[in-house]
Amino acid sequence: MQQIIKSSQPAIDIEKTIRHIKYDKLFLLTDEHTHMHCLPLLAGTPLFSEAKEIVIPADDIHKTIDNLSKVWLQLTQNGATRHSLLVNLGGGMVTDLGGFAAATFKRGIKYINIPTTLLGAVDAAVGGKTGINFGGYKNEIGSFYPSEYVIITTDFFHTLDGRAIRSGYAEMIKHALIHSAKDWEKLLTFSLDEIDYAQLNELLFRSVGIKRAIVEKDPFEKDIRKALNLGHTTAHAFESYAMENGNPIPHGYAVAWGMIVELYLSHRICGFPKEKLLKTVRYIQQHYGAFPISCDNYEALYEITRHDKKNVGNYIYFTLLSEIGNVRIDQTTDKELFFEALDFYRDSVGL
pLDDT of residue 314: 67
pLDDT of residue 167: 96
pLDDT of residue 174: 98
* Per-residue pLDDT tens over the stretch 25-39: 999 999 999 999 999
Q: Which CATH number fits domain 3-159: 3.40.50.1970, 3.30.710.10, 3.30.230.10, 3.20.20.70?
A: 3.40.50.1970
pLDDT tops 90 at residue 351? no
Q: What are the CA-CA distances from residue 54 to residues 17, 71, 130, 171 (Å)?
A: 20, 7, 18, 28
Place 311 in a pLDDT band, splitting at 50, 70 and 90: low
pLDDT of residue 316: 85
pLDDT of residue 315: 74
Q: What are the CA-CA distances from residue 322 to residues 6, 136, 224 (Å)?
A: 33, 33, 15
Cβ–Cβ < 8 Å for 285, 349: yes
Report the C-alpha gap between 111 and 113 in whole angstroms. Answer: 7
* Per-residue pLDDT tens over the stretch 107-139: 999 999 999 999 999 998 899 999 999 998 888
Of all residues in the chain, the percent with pLDDT exceeding 70 is 98
pLDDT of residue 43: 83
Q: Give the burial class of 338: count Cβ atoms within 10 A of its Cβ; 0-12 exposed, 13-18 middle, 19 or more buried.
A: buried
- The total number of residues shown for the chain amounts to 351
- Does an H or E element contain 263, and which? helix 251-265
What are the two backbone dihedrals, phi and then psi, of residue 327, each rounded to the nearest 5 degrees? -90, 140
pTM (whole model) above 0.75: yes
pLDDT tops 80 at residue 254? yes
Q: Give mean pLDDT, residues 323-331.
A: 97
Assigned CATH topology for domain 162-349: Dehydroquinate synthase-like, alpha domain (1.20.1090)
Cβ–Cβ < 8 Å for 21, 13: no
Place 306 in a pLDDT band, splitting at 50, 70 and 90: confident
Place 44 in a pLDDT band, splitting at 50, 70 and 90: confident
Q: What are the sequence ranges of the domains in the chain?
A: 3-159, 162-349
Q: Give the burial class of 24: count Cβ atoms within 10 A of its Cβ; 0-12 exposed, 13-18 middle, 19 or more buried.
A: exposed
C-alpha closest to that of 19 among 53, 52, 48: 48
Report the C-alpha gap between 77 and 73 in whole angstroms. Answer: 6
Q: What is the DSSP letter of 202?
A: H
Please state, rounded to an integer, the average pLDDT across all residues of the chain. Answer: 94
Lowest mean pLDDT among 89-93, 243-247, 259-263: 243-247
For residue 271, give every residue at least 6 positions away whose Cβ sits within 8 Å of its Cβ, in sequence order, or none.
322
C-alpha closest to that of 142 among 214, 234, 65, 83: 65
Report the C-alpha gap between 126 and 61 in whole angstroms. Answer: 21
Report the C-alpha gap between 331 and 318 in whole angstroms. Answer: 5
Cβ–Cβ < 8 Å for 130, 99: yes
Ranges assigned E (strand) in the chain:
3-6, 26-31, 52-56, 85-90, 110-115, 129-134, 137-144, 149-152, 317-323, 326-332
Highest-pLDDT range among 16-20, 247-251, 264-268? 264-268
Largest CA distance in the chain: 59
Cβ–Cβ < 8 Å for 231, 147: no
* Per-residue pLDDT tens over the stretch 158-204: 889 999 999 999 999 999 999 999 999 999 999 999 899 999 999 99
At 261 the three-state DSSP class reads: helix
Q: Give mean pLDDT, residues 68-91.
A: 98
